[in-house]
Chain A
Amino acid sequence: MKKVLVMVLALSLVLSLFAGCNKDDAEVTDKEVTTTEKEDAQVHAFIFKNTGNPYGEKQMEGFREAIEKEGHTAILKAPENPTVEDQIVIINELIGQGVDSISITGNDFDALQPALEAAMDAGIKVLSADSAVNPASRMTHINQADPELIGRVEVQAAVEMIGGSGQIAVLSATSQASNQNLWIEWMKTELEEGDYADVELVEVVYGDDLRDKSVAETEALLQKYPDLKCIIAPTTVGIAAAGKVITDKGLIGEVMVTGLGLPSEMAEYIENGACPWMYLWNPLDVGYLSGYTAMALVDGTITGALGDTFSAGKLGDFEVIADGEATQVMLGAPYKFEPSNIEEWKTVY
């Protein structure tokens, strides 16, 4: 009897082990919402990078809000780990289900192409949101905010905070993160082009979006550059870690922190002055706009071609604009979070 029990338990453990590694049942978030009995109801799917990411949860929430408002059905999916393989499995499942559209926040720029092309061949409208996939894999892309604007605005904020002269540093995510690297390029461009002779970008360091490493990197920056005036951290974990270190070391007012971060994570440090203000787009709006774009593609209102216009519910009218050779829909300028509005946003996301 005991032996049988041992066998069963050992087996179930091994199974749970596989459940963790196995790509085939990787989707954990599988909130299928069937709200509609409409005749011509469409099914729209959204695939985020991974589960357990509050930013992604908000994006999917916005998507669902838009889709359900128009009486359609939203399928929200995300793999447990942020990998391409897991996303491909989900795409193939959705093709099998015969959904009307797939919106995806890509885990890779190129690698999803075969799966997404297969989806388009099956008549599914495909668009990327937040993190783009390559132009051949999509009909259009929903861009949170202009990377150029993000990079430039952050440098302008830092320069304003330090009063026009002094040393600044950048604390990024991983050295491979494409979003962050693009923004940092634009920061450097702004520093070159603008009139910032007295501002020196001393170093770009990488906290890998890990709390402990981001803290260690921030501390190292403070040790290496005693005259450092401002840290720009264009990533949620990084900016919160920097805010925490500045607060703990009693350097509020001496070293400023700015960048991109979740209002909930940064509320403490915006309220205590470690971070005078920072930026982010609203992930609810990114999801909401994706939802309306997906519906416009399925309805045939737009085809994803340059110059198409459509209406996106409460967000107003949008136009499909150029993104290099391809097209995109731009949500707008990054939103500024400061002491006066952080109170209302910190509980939102």
Chain B
Amino acid sequence: MDKVKEKVSISEMFSKFRELGMVLFIIALIIFIQFRNSNFLTLENIDDLITNAAILSILAIGMMMVIITRGIDLSIGATLALSGMSTALMVSANQNMHPVLALLMGTVVGMIAGGIIGLLIAKLNILPIIATLGMMNVYRGFTFIIGDGGWVSAYQMPDSFVGIATSSFLKVNTLVWIAIILYIIAYYFLNHTRLGRQVYAVGSNPGSARISGVNNDFIIFMVYSIMGALAGLCGVLWVSKFASAQGDTATGYELSVIAACVLGGVSMAGGVGKVSGIIIGVLLLGILQNALPLINVSVFWQLAIQGAIILFAVLSNVLIKRNSDKKNLARRVL
């Protein structure tokens, strides 16, 4: 009897501190990698790591909100490419355009793209996976059309524009600063504003949310618009970082973003997800992408290892959820 109790309490602890488990896992991973290659924990490499993970982390904020409302957005890679291509074309035609204006323009392009998806889902009740899969192709097609099948290359971009992603403040890259600011805003918005709490309400129980006076349609429209805006912003950052805009930019990138959310404990069933969680998810993916090439793992194994770790995280998520559900049921019987 005592043993059973102890087991329950351990799993209880684990479910409370699921993030702690992930943190421990990451620490173990870091120690292992550092042991294999001592260049891992150098300032330069850490700088590379977080700069490369910045775009992923920004997208994860939007994706988390979408998933919390029981949705999914598969179109963000295409939205990112569309915004990146249109901004790149714009700055290459107007070399004197202010970088902030470019960022703004990309964000607006993305917000419109996301808003259209939001309307389709909220007003016309189309399943998110179908609406976003359809619009993914539409936006990708637009990207090819406006770019006329071509690329915009580094020499066509003004230095001020490329400088967005190469500049730094207090030795930390601008991309990272943008991500940090957005995370602070997202944390405040989701936890301390009425609108933010309503996002959770719509996701955990749409019926009761509606009865309690939440405008479900608006919330859905809002999260897809935010997702689009963030993808648009990332489009500009991406093009600035790599100094090249291609039609097939970030194809399939949405899957990495979804993986980061799932790793961060965002439940695909909706209603569950924390800002601190996705930071951990992004960090884990970022470490994997940075470290696997460093420790001489064969290319064939890299993908398999990444997949296995994601599967492991999802599995633990499912097991913990099952445990805590069981525990809640037990409590009810008593």
A residues adjacent to B (C-beta < 8 A)? 5-6, 9-10, 13-14, 16-17, 19-20, 28-29, 51-54, 57, 175, 205-206, 211-213, 215-217, 219-221, 223-224, 240-241, 244, 248, 262, 264-265, 267-269, 271, 346
Contact = CB atoms under 8 A, between A and B. Distances in A.
A215 B286 CA distance: 13
Mostly, the B contact residues are helix
Given A223-B39, A241-B242, A217 B293 contact: yes
Given A19-B137, A20-B140, 14 more contacts: A9-B120, A16-B134, A20-B133, A20-B137, A53-B149, A54-B150, A54-B151, A212-B242, A216-B293, A217-B293, A241-B242, A268-B153, A268-B154, A346-B153
B126 A264 contact: no
B155 A28 contact: no
Contacts of A248: 166
A78 to B, nearest CB: 9
B120 A17 contact: no
Contacts of A219: 45, 48, 52, 290
Chain B interface size, under 10 / 10 to 19 / 20 to 34 / 35 or more: 35 or more
A211 B293 contact: no
23 contacts: A6-B124, A6-B126, A10-B124, A13-B120, A13-B130, A16-B135, A16-B138, A20-B133, A20-B140, A52-B144, A52-B147, A52-B246, A52-B247, A206-B299, A211-B246, A216-B52, A216-B293, A224-B296, A262-B151, A264-B151, A265-B151, A267-B153, A346-B155
Nearest to B147: A52
Contacts of A19: 137
Q: Which of A13, A19, A51, A206 has the most CB of B within 10 A?
A: A13
A17 B249 contact: no
B308 to A, nearest CB: 19
Nearest to B291: A220
B243 A244 contact: yes
A227 B236 CA distance: 34
Interface string B128-167: 0011011111101100100101110111100000000010
A20 B75 CA distance: 13
A13 B116 CA distance: 12
B278 to A, nearest CB: 19
B290 A216 contact: yes
Nearest to A204: B299
Contacts of A9: 120, 124, 126
Contacts, number: 121
A165 B18 CA distance: 52
Contacts of A6: 124-126
B290 A244 contact: no
Nearest to B125: A6
A48 B44 CA distance: 42
A346 B154 CA distance: 11
Nearest 4 pairs of A and B residues by beta carbon: A268-B154, A20-B137, A220-B293, A52-B247
B204 interface: no
Contacts of A240: 153-154, 243-244
B169 interface: no
B214 interface: no
Nearest to B238: A211
A224 B39 contact: yes
Nearest to B157: A268
A51 B249 CA distance: 14
Contacts of B244: 211, 240, 265
Contacts of B12: none
Contacts of A271: 155
Q: Which of B133, B134, B154, B290 has the most CB of A within 10 A?
A: B154
Interface in B213-256: 238, 242-244, 246-249
B294 interface: yes
A52 B153 contact: no
A236 to B, nearest CB: 9
Contacts of A51: 144, 149
Interface in B261-320: 289-290, 293-294, 296, 299-300
Nearest to A243: B154
Contact of B37 (A175, A213, A221, A224): A224
Given A205-B293, A220-B294, A268-B155, A29 B134 contact: no
B193 interface: no
Nearest to B126: A10
A287 to B, nearest CB: 15
A343 to B, nearest CB: 10
Contacts of B328: none
Contacts of B134: 13-14, 16-17, 20
A63 to B, nearest CB: 15
A74 B249 CA distance: 30
Contacts of A220: 290, 293-294
B42 interface: yes
B249 A211 contact: yes
Contacts of A224: 37, 39, 294, 296
A240 B154 CA distance: 9
Nearest to B138: A16
A52 B133 CA distance: 20
Interface in B79-135: 120, 124-126, 130-131, 133-135
A52 B149 contact: yes
B150 A14 contact: no
Contacts of B242: 211-212, 215, 241, 244
Contact of A265 (B144, B153, B294): B153
A269 B242 CA distance: 12
B300 A175 contact: yes
